[in-house]
């Protein structure tokens, strides 16, 4: 069963009247029980992809196209309240330095 499906996702940033594509037409499917890694060079859009899925893109960024389906529902059509219920309970993000992020002493 498909757990997460990203279709034609485009997330752009707008600065000083210019458009900067951070994620440009990405597609992938993750089936239940499977693991996937997103790898790439610095600045290639890995974090922006994850933030887009989590619904955490703030201005000047904007998801301009695509669909993000989780358990068959398009997350882009969910309210912020509904997304807060999903974040942390069902979908989470571990940042690049997990030892610092997960260390209760920091």
- Mean pLDDT per block of 10 residues along the chain (106 residues) reads 97 96 97 92 93 95 98 96 92 72 58
Say what the pLDDT of residue 104 is: 60
Say what the pLDDT of residue 26 is: 97
12, β-bridge pairs:
21, 62
The domains found in the chain, sorted by start residue, are: 2-101 (3.40.50.300)
Say what the pLDDT of residue 11 is: 98
Torsion 14-65-8-49 (CA) sign: positive
61 vs 11, 14, 18, 86, CA distance in Å? 7, 6, 12, 21
Say what the pLDDT of residue 63 is: 98
Model's pTM, two decimal places? 0.84
Q: Which residues contact 5 (CB under 8 A, 6 or more apart)?
A: 28, 29, 30, 67, 68, 69
Neighbour-count burial of 104, counting CB atoms closer than 10 A to its CB (0-12 exposed, 13-18 middle, 19+ buried): exposed
Say what the pLDDT of residue 88 is: 83
Say what the pLDDT of residue 92 is: 84
């Amino acid at each position: 069963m498909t757990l997460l499906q990203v279709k034609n996702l485009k997330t752009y940033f707008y600065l000083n009247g210019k458009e900067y594509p951070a994620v440009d037409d990405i597609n992938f499917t993750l089936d239940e029980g499977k693991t996937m890694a997103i790898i790439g060079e610095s600045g290639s859009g890995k974090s922006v992809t994850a933030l887009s899925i989590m619904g955490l893109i703030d201005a000047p960024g904007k998801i301009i196209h695509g669909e993000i389906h989780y358990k068959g529902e398009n997350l882009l059509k969910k309210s912020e309240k509904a997304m807060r219920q999903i974040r942390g309970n069902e979908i989470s993000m571990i940042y690049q330095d997990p030892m610092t992020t997960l260390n209760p002493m920091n």
